[in-house]
Amino acid sequence: MRRSFLLALSSMVLVMVLGALALPDQAATQVVVSYTATADFGAAFIAKEQGFFAKRGLDVTLQSVPVAPNVPAALMSNSVQIGGTTPSVLLQAVDSGLDLVAVAGGGTFDLKGSPAPIGIAVRSGLAVRGGADLVGKKIAVPGFGAAIHVLTRRWLMAQGVDPKQVTFVEVGVPQMPDVLKGGSVDAVAVPEPFLARIVQAGIGTAVPSFAASLPDGVSTVLYTATRQWAAQNRAAVVAFREALAEGAQFAATQREAALQDFGKYIRVPAPILKAMPYPHFEPVLQDEQLRFWSDTMRTQDMLRRQTPLSTTLLK
């Protein structure tokens, strides 16, 4: 009987030890984070691949979405908990009454002597020098109301063209080379590295005047959540921000390794990745980062309410 008791006791101790060893995995907070196919979400790619999320107790699943405007609905349905999208999509969602907040920043325009990170490519054989040449044409954008759509409309308006004179269609970024090559659109407004891929493949040519119109220093993408989820998971939000910050630092010092992580998620060949403008990350988001978008969208009658920017950012 004593031997049986000792065996049972040993088994109990073994179970307790194994349970204690498994505790960190069990305690990890599971978070689904969405992204679109752009390197501006690269800090999250790095944080996932280099273990920066995991070491902070976050079990992150990165989920690709075709177009940024799909993200608010995904957040409201809780199919994703943190949604990578563009500032303009967030502002429109808040303007329509959704209680969403920005929890962290992603890429920013950093144009000081660098090639533009986005552009307009027109199909081969179509001569386009400026906005007037696109009147009556069909342009693909990666989401209605998303940042590139807003910037394309801004560029047209600056050249005296009413955006209503152009037909916009919504196409996911990875499909843009195919739709341009197939002739179903006349032009695509697209981020790098897909713009370079289109030009190098001879599918289309870039419109040089568009790049000159881009703003410098403003946020291109950000990470959002419902206010309720962010409030209930404050520790996870803090850990997420810290992991992004470490990812941004890694990107600044380990470019080759970072490019490998980018390539895994945006799925373009290594030579194209290396040729693209290298992204700049600002995980700490400020009111000023959103003000450009708010002001620009108001000139395009895209916002109805005067929502203070400070309430849109989770401090």
Q: What CATH number is given to the structural domain containing 123?
A: 3.40.190.10
Question: Is residue 133 located within the same domain as residue 191?
Answer: yes
Nearest-angstrom CA–CA distance, 34 and 91: 18
36-66 residue pLDDT tens: 989 999 999 999 999 999 999 999 999 999 8
Number of domains the chain contains: 2
**Residues 160 and 187 placed together within one structural domain of the fold:** yes
Whether residues 252 and 302 share a domain: the answer is yes
Domain check: are 186 and 233 in the same one? no
**pTM, to two decimals:** 0.84
Instruction: Verify that 186 and 259 share a domain, yes or no.
Output: no
Q: Is residue 79 in some structural domain?
A: yes
Domain boundary among 211, 238, 253: 211
Of 185, 211, 237, the residue that ends a domain is: 211
- H/E run at residue 30: strand 29-35
Average pLDDT, the chain: 88
Residue 14 within any structural domain of the chain: no
Q: Is the pLDDT of residue 296 over 90?
A: yes
Task: Give the span between the Cα atoms of 212 and 68, in whole angstroms.
Answer: 24
Give the pLDDT of residue 194.
86
Residues 264 and 207 in one domain: no
Q: Which residues contact 144 (CB under 8 A, 6 or more apart)?
A: 69, 168, 170
Q: Residue 11: pLDDT above 80?
A: no
Tokens of 46: 């790095």
**Gap between the Cα atoms of 240 and 47, Å rounded:** 9
Rounded to whole angstroms, the Cα distance separating 151 from 63 reads 26
Give yes or no for residue 117 having a pLDDT over 90. Answer: no
Model confidence at 261, pLDDT cuts 50, 70, 90, reads very high
Q: Is 21 within a domain? A: no
pLDDT, residue 16, reads 42
What is the reported pLDDT for 5? 37
Q: Please give the residue range of the domain that contains residue 131.
A: 118-211
Q: Is 242 contained in some domain? A: yes
Instruction: Output the pLDDT for position 114.
Output: 66
From 211, 237, 272, the end of a domain falls on 211
